[in-house]
Structure 1
């Protein structure tokens, strides 16, 4: 066994019931493993998965409302700092009971993500060695990487946790960041510690509003950082709280609750107060002879002294220049985006399909951007133009060309879009009489105004969109077949919101635009994901706006959504495997719906949704066909 690494030797000994080799693990991890053994936990078996009732979760949230209020803001900031890293951030109380989570969709959909949810218990006694439970047990921050977890089933996880101390020095909560791989995340560990320290700092100001709060540090430039000691003192000079950094800076002195300012610093409390309130920053010696700079951060009764402002809002996430200004993490949407740039460069007419509110105009504007065209993006709602004026609006008209025509004439939308993009929204509403003229224009790119003789050549990218079934309209002779095939050179299908795999990212994106820095918990997103969303993203935006109005705190959780709405059917029209997960269930229902609409044609369903035939087979319940395909 000499050639084995430390963790390999340690796990071998653990699984064989032998003594853990000295030096093979961090001492705190080795001690935790031993405690787990003593408690009779079997590392081979799946760990217990205790989840408490929702009523108990609400009770715990209410008991820690001040801490939770501060923590959710820090969790949102932490999420923005590590976004894209496949992480979940969790807040737990001192018992290791998870109260809230904020995560990206990839982690939330993983096995680990489904295990770390509000109400789950992650104490060391329940889940063995894990960062959250170990931080609660030893009272300090800790990181547990991969197979350092006691239970083998947690070996794919890396997690970093830090305790949150109240002003009395007691653990009131735990902050944890977890990811689904074993890569060491020292940077994230540091961010978690900083976030916990910031929450502790906020608790001091909130819970010691009747006290003076002083920041102190040997170097004046550190007074506005988390490295500074924070000391709250009553009006008569008694210490009401001191943070962990303050205890380190005053090591060897009676830095404890109830001690007096005069026992810690050489200058008397009165003299120090005169300098702090009149001169701002002072230099003072502690009773051990070390000099520190000190400044008053809060005057009693919650009145704040002048201090350097600290930004509380989360900075908006930076967008890559070559990415669309909307969420596109869904597989089918991402696949479409990969092709539209090439199609636009070939000047292919593009047709966008999707239900109302799925973002068809946003996609059309993205097509215009990636085309590199210098002209304007001109949008026209074909259903809003009167039938007798449609041709004149599109192609323009000369002065006096018809009754009620503009006296000065009009160039028409096509000319306005020259060297740019013409977006024909609700293209199914184009009058039959006008469809011939539009088809002729698409073939020649030549335009002649109504009542005019001059023919102009234009260069226009055509993008059309509809929420109706044009193919069926062609069959029913409500839409010209040749025009349909001309517009349909390249099709982009936008799935409904209920079928989007990036639903959580859409919620966070919309909230960031409406209220930058507003935390949204995973429980809130899970609540929203159960709905049918007939109005899609447009409806979601309205619901989020109502939640912002109704909220009574600086975060959005499931309590902000109390209106009765129809939820997705959890047992019908869905394969067995997808019923347990709302987002997968929605996707499955969409696939089956299109499958029926195409007369159970797998190839057409796959093309319409931008999926592989394998994926369609898996959801429409055709085991024999699926086996044949994969064989």
Structure 2
């Protein structure tokens, strides 16, 4: 390490004094990037400029990459909690090098680097010189740039790690980046960043190809459904339309995958195995290189349509009590639903969706409302896309334009985008009353006028809405119009909180398997998990198991790995600090932090135990019980 540091210092001195540097002094990719930076005319001693897009251009970039942002958000939050150090941040970049989203530790946000890496800032090599995000965009490979390896001295106090996100067609869809003030090589963080990027990539591919057959495959059947799965997207003629990076690795040696026919890759025709795949079977196939892989079909609109064409008659009754038709059994196959009460509720969902009955889903945060919404969309068999909007995220005064379009944009508006598909409105009671009234009319008459030219637009989407509260409560408080309530509550689904679900163990095992293929959970660890109240529901369970999996040394998560992640003693909700009170999952986190401080005897000890920065711990103490911080 000392020799590498000395070589880097000498290379920097020559770069800054002579505009050149010795070959072989730096890792190959860093050396090549420095040469490109010099070719771009950059000065290694130049000040770091903000280089931030204007509001209009940034909003355009966000709109262009809305799906990337939507699927990346939960991964950003999970990655942020998994790294759980101090002086660091997570950023999502576009294929053009624009930072779209950030999550930053308080300490990092207050540094020069934290004030430079902000949403809207541009981080291409041409503008910023050598940096991990720009290097990743250029090479299309994971990149790590530590301290002085940055071309600009102004960035030499930061280390950054980036991983590319691809779209399955060979093009970059985005970049995931983790930056910190540490100059120590962070291979564990690099692995987490690449895992998160792969998960975002798989979600993007699955979402973008709802009208095509999507297959998962892996040499080992138990790895299906994990991050390491290969994915194939088929055209209508069963040629390969898209493939993820894992799939390319598994099929290495087979040339020209895109556009190749299914039987040019596997030793069976797709027509010969399609019906069994559509019915939810996992098949063992051999590729043209002689390797055997397990293959299954993802439940989506295309698979339902193909199943109905190939086997229109109903199949025998489903063993789990869910709908008996092949397409409906396929619908629920990729999710864990073994709670009998929930099974009874969802049994009628596919038929309601096919009839176009509006679906309303109520449940606490993290209970899986969007998952059920996507199941309803898939069952509806409509030809258009799944268009999602969170009513809480609509800009003030811009909600009507978001739904009906802007005067200057003829094809804009959520209603236009979802006209032949599904419009998913999360937290529907947060919509402005004016938008509620207009939406109720659209659902009534199936048409609306565009605000630009006044033209009449036909068509109403299949509507799925959600709320964490009952519609009756919102109606009583005057936040929901009666006219909208009775148009959206056609088929109501009330999702139980995780603490009330009888399939808790099955869910926990699914999350552990997703965190690491083949990873189990010991019975004692499951018993400890069941004792927790889970205010964050599925989101919280997934996070806790991911954290436990990261520290698990064996083939199963043990109680010793679970215990530090759960509060030992429940305390009163009013003990939560002011900024957390009223939000169940925040209250739980706040109580856990305060309990750890009292139990371990100090802020530093609690921070180490919880994997948090001391700043984060202090934040929860000073607002509620200042005396504990001393």
Scaled by the length of structure 1, the TM-score of the pair is: 0.51
* 2:334 alignment partner in structure 1: 307
- Point out the more displaced range, 18-27 or 140-149: 18-27
Q: Does the 8 A contact of 2:280 with 2:297 survive in 1?
A: no
Q: Does the 8 A contact of 1:213 with 1:232 survive in 2?
A: yes
Q: Tell me how far 1:610 sits from its aligned partner.
A: 12
- Distance in 1 between residues matched to 2:217 and 2:225, nearest whole Å: 9
* 2:153 alignment partner in structure 1: 152
- Distance in 2 between residues matched to 1:253 and 1:61, nearest whole Å: 37
SS of the aligned residue for 1:313 comes to helix
The alpha-carbon distance between structure 1 residues 280 and 129, as it changes in their structure 2 partners (threshold 3 A), is same
* 1:68 alignment partner in structure 2: 69
SS of the aligned residue for 2:60 comes to helix
Q: Tell me how far 1:186 sits from its aligned partner.
A: 0.9
Q: Does the 8 A contact of 2:163 with 2:176 survive in 1?
A: yes
SS of the aligned residue for 2:298 comes to strand
- Distance in 1 between residues matched to 2:119 and 2:281, nearest whole Å: 45
- Distance in 2 between residues matched to 1:3 and 1:244, nearest whole Å: 32
Pairing 1:186–2:198 present: no
Q: Give CA-to-partner distance per residue, 1:235-257, whole Å, 9 cap, x none.
A: 43122210011112112224533
Pairing 1:88–2:89 present: yes
SS of the aligned residue for 1:119 comes to coil
Q: Does the 8 A contact of 1:210 with 1:234 survive in 2?
A: no
Give the count of matched residue pairs: 357
Question: Which structure 1 segments of 5+ residues have no match?
Answer: 331-358, 373-500, 511-535, 539-607, 613-631
Q: Tell me how far 1:319 sits from its aligned partner.
A: 5.9
State the Cα RMSD in Å.
4.0
The alpha-carbon distance between structure 1 residues 11 and 56, as it changes in their structure 2 partners (threshold 3 A), is same
Q: Give CA-to-partner distance per residue, 1:362-397, whole Å, 9 cap, x none.
A: 99x979x9699xxxxxxxxxxxxxxxxxxxxxxxxx
Alignment of 1:87-486 (within 5 A): 87-278=88-279, 280-301=281-302, 306-307=333-334, 309=336, 313-315=539-541, 318=565
The alpha-carbon distance between structure 1 residues 94 and 35, as it changes in their structure 2 partners (threshold 3 A), is same
The higher-RCO structure (CA 8 Å, 6+ apart) is 1
* 1:53 alignment partner in structure 2: 54
Q: Does the 8 A contact of 2:87 with 2:107 survive in 1?
A: yes
Q: Give CA-to-partner distance per residue, 1:126-184, whole Å, 9 cap, x none.
A: 11100011111111111111111111111111111112112322112111110112122
- Distance in 2 between residues matched to 1:275 and 1:14, nearest whole Å: 62
Q: Give CA-to-partner distance per residue, 1:481-507, whole Å, 9 cap, x none.
A: xxxxxxxxxxxxxxxxxxxx9998899
- Distance in 1 between residues matched to 2:578 and 2:146, nearest whole Å: 28
The alpha-carbon distance between structure 1 residues 106 and 370, as it changes in their structure 2 partners (threshold 3 A), is closer
Larger Rg: 1
Q: Give CA-to-partner distance per residue, 1:73-110, whole Å, 9 cap, x none.
A: 11011111112333211111111111111112111111
- Distance in 1 between residues matched to 2:99 and 2:273, nearest whole Å: 43
The alpha-carbon distance between structure 1 residues 236 and 52, as it changes in their structure 2 partners (threshold 3 A), is same
Q: Does the 8 A contact of 1:6 with 1:23 survive in 2?
A: no
Q: Does the 8 A contact of 1:48 with 1:126 survive in 2?
A: no
Q: Does the 8 A contact of 2:99 with 2:123 survive in 1?
A: yes
- Distance in 2 between residues matched to 1:223 and 1:156, nearest whole Å: 41
* 1:42 alignment partner in structure 2: 43
* 1:376 alignment partner in structure 2: none
Q: Give CA-to-partner distance per residue, 1:407-453, whole Å, 9 cap, x none.
A: xxxxxxxxxxxxxxxxxxxxxxxxxxxxxxxxxxxxxxxxxxxxxxx
Q: Does the 8 A contact of 1:284 with 1:294 survive in 2?
A: yes
Q: Give CA-to-partner distance per residue, 1:213-233, whole Å, 9 cap, x none.
A: 111122222223222211111
- Distance in 1 between residues matched to 2:17 and 2:235, nearest whole Å: 57
The alpha-carbon distance between structure 1 residues 40 and 99, as it changes in their structure 2 partners (threshold 3 A), is same
Q: Tell me how far 1:278 sits from its aligned partner.
A: 4.6
SS of the aligned residue for 1:114 comes to helix
SS of the aligned residue for 1:5 comes to helix
* 1:12 alignment partner in structure 2: 13
The alpha-carbon distance between structure 1 residues 27 and 322, as it changes in their structure 2 partners (threshold 3 A), is farther
Q: Tell me how far 1:18 sits from its aligned partner.
A: 5.7
